[in-house]
Amino acid sequence: MKKTIYVIAFSILFLSACKNDKKQTESHDASMEETNMHQQDEHSSMDNSSMQGDLKSTTEKNSSSSEIIDAYLQLKNALTEDSKDKAAEAGNKILTAFSNFDMTKLSDEQHMTYMEIMENSKEHAEHIIKSPIDHQREHFEELSKDVNDLIELIGTDKTLYVDFCPMYNNNKGAMWLSETETIKNPYLGSNMPTCGNIQKKIN
Amino acid sequence: MLFFFLIVFVGIQLVPTNHNQSSVISKTEFNNYIVVPKNIQNILKNSCYDCHSNNTNYPWYNKIQPASWFLEKHINEGKKELNFSTFGDYSKRKQKSKLKSIINQIRDDKMPLKSYTLIHRNTKLNELQKKEVIEWFTKLKDSV
């Protein structure tokens, strides 16, 4: 009997603990943004020297990547505006864009890498759809690498800029792709909209 | 009233749950796939494997409903996100993503889940453990 009461007490504790969980992480997220900005950094910033000068590169003129890139840019722009909801919307578009992508035009070598990029990107998009904004940004960082690799793999007919902000994530820095020459930072948003420089111009 | 509660409580014990236990240790298990130092291994096994592997260590109260249901839900969702038992099956790209995500989750105290560390006190990572794990995973991530 005594044991049963313990068990009941435990279960109730467990139930209430689970309910609290979400709230706690959310308020934590909100405070994260501030602390992130003020934290002293132990790591030196990434080597920036290689990024100077306006590197130009051309890719194969391929429009089949356009829907994915457009959805990605929509996400990027939502994050520059600090809009979690618009970012989530764009996350959905990214999922659709990957589903619509015509894989039959890929070569055998491209196919493997494409599949990996797609699988990874979709997972990031799913997180972006359901997460608070700083977690959206963490996944956006990874997604940016995927989209950049996709462009290297199959090309684009768009003119794009590869930007890099050395301050994000405790001065570890992060890259993103943009359709405009002016820097608008998606990682720090309105806190620091101009952080970043152009690493490379595509097309 | 108490009687009623007891009946319900006993009743729900009869609802079956799947136990997440497997005796097969796969070649692609994190530990076989990558050389993991003992101290990191212990931390992961103790604090993460219950929800992120094919082997959950079930203390007695986790076999009891409704605790068992909640754990089952966490295991299903947790394994979908990250399964140490099949880590080597992920593409390199996905491995890198997951390693990064592990670092972020631990840094931000999001993992292990709070609802879990509340009951399993000894699974919460202290600052030293966090530092060790993050440093090790950061090195690993850069080498994948």
Do the Cβ atoms of A116 and B64 come within 8 Å? no
CB B87: neighbour CB atoms within 10 A? 22
Specify the range with the lowest mean pLDDT, choosing from A50-59, A155-164, B7-16: A50-59
Q: What is the ipTM score, two decimals?
A: 0.80
Choice between A127 and B64, residue whose per-residue pLDDT is larger: A127
| Distance, CA of A160 to CA of A158 (rounded, Å) | 6
Residue A68, amino acid? I
pLDDT band at B61 (very low <50, low <70, confident <90, very high): low
Q: What is the 3-state secondary structure (H, E, C) of chain B?
A: CHHHHHHHHHHHCCCCCCCCCCCCCCCCCHHHHCCCCHHHHHHHHHHCHHHHCCCCCCCHHHHCCCHHHHHHHHHHHHHHHCCHHHHHHCCHHHHHHHHHHHHHHHHCCCCCCHHHHCCCHHHCCCHHHHHHHHHHHHHHHHHC
Question: What pLDDT sits at residue A24?
Answer: 39
* Closest by Cβ to A120, choosing from B93, B109, B110: B93
The pLDDT of residue A1:
47
**Which residues from B are below 8 Å from A28, CB to CB?**
108-110
Cβ separation B110–A123 shorter than 8 A: no
What's the average model confidence in pLDDT over B97-103? 95
Range with the lowest mean pLDDT among A48-57, A88-97, A119-128, B123-132? A48-57
Element housing A200 (H / E): strand A197-202
Crossing angle of helices A2-38 and A133-154, in 10° steps, is 60
Structure-derived torsion over alpha carbons of residues A33, A37, A42, A46, reported in degrees to the nearest 10: 100
Q: Give the DSSP H/E element, type plus range, for residue A198.
A: strand A197-202
The pLDDT of residue A95: 97
Q: How far apart are CA A82 and CA A76, in angstroms?
A: 10
- Lowest average pLDDT, out of A23-32, A51-60, A137-146, B64-73, goes to A23-32
pLDDT higher than threshold 80 for residue B63: no
- Is the bond preceding residue B66 a cis peptide, omega within 30 degrees? yes
Check A20 against B109: CB less than 8 A apart. Answer: no
- B5·A8 Cβ contact <8 A: yes
How distant is the Cα of B95 from the closest Cα of chain A, in angstroms?
Answer: 10
**All structural domains of chain A with their residue ranges:** 65-202
DSSP A203: -
Res. A59: pLDDT tops 90? no
Q: Which residue has the higher pLDDT, B118 or B140?
A: B140
Question: What b/e string do you get for A181-196 counting C-beta neighbours within 10 Å, with b at 16 or more?
Answer: eebbbbbbbeeebebb
pLDDT greater than 90 at residue A49: no
Q: Is the pLDDT of residue A188 over 50?
A: yes
Interface mutation vs chain B, best among A120, A122, A175, most B CBs within 10 Å: A120
Least confident of A7-11, A157-161, B28-32: A7-11
Contact B49, B83 (CB under 8 A): no
Paired with A164 in beta bridges are A175, A197
pLDDT at B101: 95
Extents of the domains making up chain B = 36-143
What's residue A112's pLDDT?
A: 93
Q: Do B114 and A10 touch (CB under 8 A)?
A: no
Q: Which residue in chain B is spatially nearest to A29 when comparing CA positions?
A: B108
Q: In 3-state terms, what secondary structure has residue A188?
A: coil
